[in-house]
Amino acid sequence: MPLSSEDLQQVAARTLAHYEQHAQGYWEGTRDHDVSQNIAALLKHMAGPPPFDLLDFGCGPGRDLHTFKALGHRTVGLEGASSVAALARAHSGCEVLEQNFLQLELPVERFDGVFANAVLFHVPRQVLPQVLRQLQACLRPGGVLFSSNPRGNGQEGWSGERYGVFHDWPSWRTLVTAAGFEELEHFYRPSGLPVEQQPWLASVWRKR
């Protein structure tokens, strides 16, 4: 059954409240995670000379914002939980937009790349096409989208106080292609393990 508008607002409110309440713990628990493979996957497909204008979509407390800035890129974060956004500003020194993923207001053709690491799975399936089209529109021609999500078999619903959708590769490819992207590559993480021990699906796309 489709979610009502009230259901969608509840999804956003409860999920963001979870991150709001656990902002500092989330920073402490993820600050040392190695996502260099993901960062490299985005940057290697960028066209033209750096530095690039990047959007860290769902930037969390700012770990990857800091990395992109240290690499010399002009990076803007986007985060829905205000206390998490404050941590991101403090840790990175970057601009961080505070926006609900269900009520995005992104500038048109502003960015060369979008880094969406461990975030788009929180978007309910029925509104994901809209969010993907908005990300496509904020990219300049030929811009690149990176995404990484926990993979599954289409399960959707609550896990504690967080809402999630666990896509398999065929369904994810169909959704992103329909939003105006062409596939560049996809891979499973962590690298070097059997596929059944790789819970993360990463993919890279170019704006068509």
Per-residue DSSP letters for 63-115? HHHHHHHHTT-EEEEEESSHHHHHHHHHHH---EEE--TTS--PPTT-EEEEE
Report the pLDDT averaged over residues 105-122.
97
* From 31-40, 93-102, 116-125, the region with the lowest mean pLDDT: 31-40
The mean predicted confidence, pLDDT, of the chain is 95
Estimate to the nearest angstrom the gap between the alpha carbon of 145 and the chain centroid.
9
**Each residue's pLDDT tens digit, 123-182:** 999 999 999 999 999 999 999 999 999 999 999 999 999 999 999 999 999 999 999 999
β-pair partners for 147 = 116, 203
pTM score, whole prediction: 0.95
Q: Which whole-number Å values give the CA distances from 66 to 25, 48, 69, 89, in the listed order? A: 18, 22, 5, 9
Question: Which positions ≥6 away from 161 have C-beta within 8 Å?
Answer: 14, 15, 17, 18
Q: Which whole-number Å values give the CA distances from 104 to 30, 101, 130, in the listed order? A: 25, 6, 10
**Structure letter (DSSP) for residue 32:** T
The C-alpha atoms of residue 32 and residue 18 are separated, in whole angstroms, by 21
CA angle 198, 206, 102 (to 5 degrees): 75
- Token pair, residue 73, equals 């890129």
Residue 192 has pLDDT above 90, yes or no: no
CATH code given to domain 5-207: 3.40.50.150
- The one-letter code for the residue type at 122 is H
**Each residue's pLDDT tens digit, 18-36:** 999 988 877 787 878 889 9
- Token pair, residue 84, equals 């998490």
